[in-house]
Amino acid sequence: MRDPNVLLHRLGLSELAHRTRAGQRLWPLRVPEPFIRRMRRGDPADPLLRQVLPLDAELASPVGFGTDPLEERSARTAPGLLQKYRGRALLITTGVCAIHCRYCFRRHFPYAETSASGAWEPALGAVRADPRIRELILSGGDPLSLADSRLADLAAALTHVPHLRTLRIHTRLPVVIPSRVCDSLLVWMERVRQRLVVVLHVNHANELDDPEVHRALFRLRQTGAALLNQSVLLCGVNDSVESLCALSEALLDNGVLPYYLHTLDPVQGAAHFGIDDRRALRLYRDMRERLPGYLVPRLVRELPGKPYKVDLAASDPVVVS
């Protein structure tokens, strides 16, 4: 769906339409039908709706918020290839995504000039030529928005890169459109020579409250892929210990391990989702008190130029669970 008025009318929230006009002009709504069906009718604070609804609040431009918050353009080493961390490279496979998350750090990303867009060879040549690259991350946009035939060709091209040990896929599609996990997807995934890691992006347990999502994640696990999740700490979406713990439990129910809990990247248009560090740390400490250690994701921030993600809780006492 692309019209906020239609979405709000369907949810019985037409009175909110006047708050969406500026946000819609800045970056249009895009949300798939299966995700809409999990939204609560009549609830303006629904955590799924809040993630995708354009708001006039996006016009705010606080100091420190910009269009390239992680300075990714400076990390480009070949068309579509970014190298920010030692031993890993990230391939911008496409600019297309099934859902426009309003807090997305790449909402202003120049995909037309930076994405590999299916012309893999220059980026793959750079990967082949650098034996230090042990892991390739497929990102976007969403790599699973590409046809399985193209993804299979890409995986096949990586088969004979001896130093590449892990293929990682960052995707939201198995959750927002679970039918995307189809037979043709599973076939090429099962043929991947490298270790296969699928990193999902789920911010609230309600996103997983769908039998079709459960089935999609079960089928992904059958390929032998490790399933991880990274979420973003968002005001009005998951900024309570109850929400965060429920998310970790729901992930485990689906065979997914919580991996990262990111603080908000300071991207222009998303400041209304921000949470200060002191509150973030309080929530994190509360999670550690309630959950076993394997269900507590690392609370991190990504900073431009840093060779690793910064662990905000690193100075806290070590808790063994």
Confidence at residue 114, expressed as pLDDT on a 0 to 100 scale: 63
| Residue at token pair 């600019």 | 95
In the predicted model, is pLDDT for residue 318 greater than 60?
Answer: no
Average pLDDT over residues 79-108: 95
Pairing mode of beta strands 298-301, 195-200? unpaired
Structure token digits, residue 315: 């100075």
Length of the chain, in residues: 321
SS3 218: helix
| Token reading at 152 | 């299979």
Q: Determine the average pLDDT of the residues in 81-92.
A: 95
User: So what's the pLDDT on residue 111?
Assistant: 84
72-311, CATH topology level: TIM Barrel (3.20.20)
Q: List pLDDT tens digits, range 156-175.
A: 999 999 999 999 999 999 99
How far is Cα 204 from Cα 119, in angstroms, rounded to an integer? 35
Q: Is the pLDDT of residue 319 over 80?
A: no
Question: For 148, how many CA atoms within 13 A lie in the half-sphere containing its CB?
Answer: 13
pLDDT of residue 117 exceeding 80, the answer is no
Average pLDDT, the chain: 94
Q: Is 97's pLDDT higher than 80?
A: yes
For the cut 80, the answer to whether the pLDDT of residue 208 exceeds it is yes
Residue 315 carries which DSSP code?
Answer: T
Alpha helices in the chain (DSSP H): 4-10, 21-26, 33-36, 47-52, 111-114, 121-129, 148-157, 173-176, 183-190, 211-221, 241-253, 277-290
**Nearest to residue 247, comparing CAs of 287, 280, 217?**
287
pLDDT at 320: 41
pLDDT at 321: 41
Site of tokens 């076993």: 292
What pLDDT is stored for residue 316 in this prediction? Answer: 59
CA-wise closest residue to 136 among 206, 215, 83: 83
Ranges 78-87, 186-195, 220-229: which has the least confidence? 78-87
At 120 the pLDDT is 84
Q: Is the distance from CB of 176 to CB of 145 less than 8 angstroms?
A: no
Q: What's the mean pLDDT in 111-119?
A: 68
Q: What is the pLDDT of residues 128-155, one digit of tens each?
A: 999 999 999 999 999 999 999 999 999 9
- Per-residue model confidence (pLDDT) at position 142: 97
Contact (CB, 8 A) for 293 and 321 = yes
pLDDT of the residue at 118? 59
Q: Which residues are CB-contacts of 103 (< 8 A; sequence separation ≥ 6)?
A: 51, 232, 234, 264, 265, 267, 270, 273
Select the more confidently predicted residue: 319 or 59: 59
Give the chain's count of helices (H) and strands (E): 12, 10
pLDDT value, residue 73: 85
Give the start-to-end residue ranges of the domains of the chain: 4-59, 72-311
Q: pLDDT band for 112, please (50, 70, 90 cuts).
A: confident
Once rounded to an integer, what is the mean pLDDT over residues 196-212?
A: 98
